Amino acid sequence: MTVLPTPGLPPRPVAETVPLRVCHVSLTLKTGGLERILADLARHHSATACRASFIAIREVGRFADEIRSHGCIVHQLRSTGRLGQIREMAHWFRREQIDVVHTHNTYPHLYATLAARWAGVPVVIQTRHGQRAGHGWKSRVGYRWAARLVDRVVAVSDDAARLCVEADGLPAAKVQRIWNGIDLSQFEYQGPVCEPVAVSVARLSAEKDFPTLLRGIALAAPQVPGLQLRIVGDGPERMKLEGLTRELGISSRVAFLGERRDVPAVLRGAGFFVTASLTEGISLTLLEAMAAGLPVVATAVGGNPEIVVDGETGRLVPAGDPEALAATIVGLCRSVDRWPALGRAGRDRVSEWFDVRRMTADYEALYRQLISQKRPQH
């Protein structure tokens, strides 16, 4: 099926000196790493390069408030049916004379892409923030179909870019990798405390595999006196995980801190960061821990090996292997004297490659490149 633009306002002339009107579309602006990225884009988009607005298809929350505080418009869709949502977004794009629609993850990719093409938006790009295109075959088929209508699919890791080509069948020329970045000014370098205090920051959901982390801590505990684990985050697995902690007999060693607004302060009180995740794009919490100067222990999945240099900024371990995780934690705790050097190297790596300003500039350059390709050649 070919979606033709609906006749509307004539295209707005876009000169190099005129800021592009960019609309980011996400499922929510409530909570999560993706929403954090969008708030950082609102903060750091160059006023001379972009005039950014944001659409939340469903709920809004604290990130919407933060985005508005940077002078950006946030529009929450009133429509609930899919056709109504497409119409509402198409009307918004035409009214605001949007130059670039930038969708984030699968649901916005499917429906905002249709709306953008219906409205005659010149450029549409999609960012795939994780490893997977979606849950179930319908999402995967829909993702591939909608990808035919966009100008570029951005993957946040080389691993995700590989999956776009190998698993989703997208042409390599349509896929571009832009690493996620964090705002380093929010994470002052402190370095680790030289005590066996581990911290993990994540949503308590199945893909983060906290059972393997808890079993790893239980196996390491007899060999590391004073070993502690602080877990920041909440989610559907919390009760199950608290029960497993009691079952393993490590309740005195594990603290569930819940959702926290002071993650930098929690990181400052830790010796190292640990994650047992089964899947990752580019983990913001991993970047934040390294920015604070903590050595890290992470599973070798998704984009993690692109962040962590094994032996230089921390250690990589196989996923789903509590014995390997425990052995790595024990080895790390027996070489505390190396922690400051590992932490310093981690901070330097994030500063060089994963700064939000670099990420934002890469997106803005992509917008300009694609817009320039749409202009008539004289």
For the chain, give every domain's residue range. Answer: 20-181+356-374, 184-353
214-272 pLDDT, tens digit each: 999 999 999 999 999 999 999 999 999 999 999 999 999 999 999 998 999 999 999 99
Amino acid 17: pLDDT: 65
Amino acid 4: pLDDT: 35
Domain 184-353 sits in CATH at: 3.40.50.2000
Asked whether 281 and 130 are in contact (CB, 8 A), the reply is: yes
pLDDT at 322 over 60: yes
Q: Taking Cα atoms as reference points, which of 123, 121, 150, 125 lies closest to residue 11?
A: 121
Amino acid 378: pLDDT: 42
pTM: 0.88
Amino acid 31: pLDDT: 81
Amino acid 167: pLDDT: 84
Asked whether 101 and 23 are in contact (CB, 8 A), the reply is: yes
196-221 mean pLDDT:
97
Amino acid identity, residue 300?
A
Q: Taking Cα atoms as reference points, which of 160, 204, 215, 190 lies closest to residue 289?
A: 190
Structural domain 20-181+356-374, CATH architecture: 3-Layer(aba) Sandwich (3.40)
**What is the band of 147 on the pLDDT scale with cuts at 50, 70, 90?**
confident
**What is the band of 143 on the pLDDT scale with cuts at 50, 70, 90?**
confident
State the maximum Cα–Cα separation within the chain, in Å, rounded to a whole number: 74
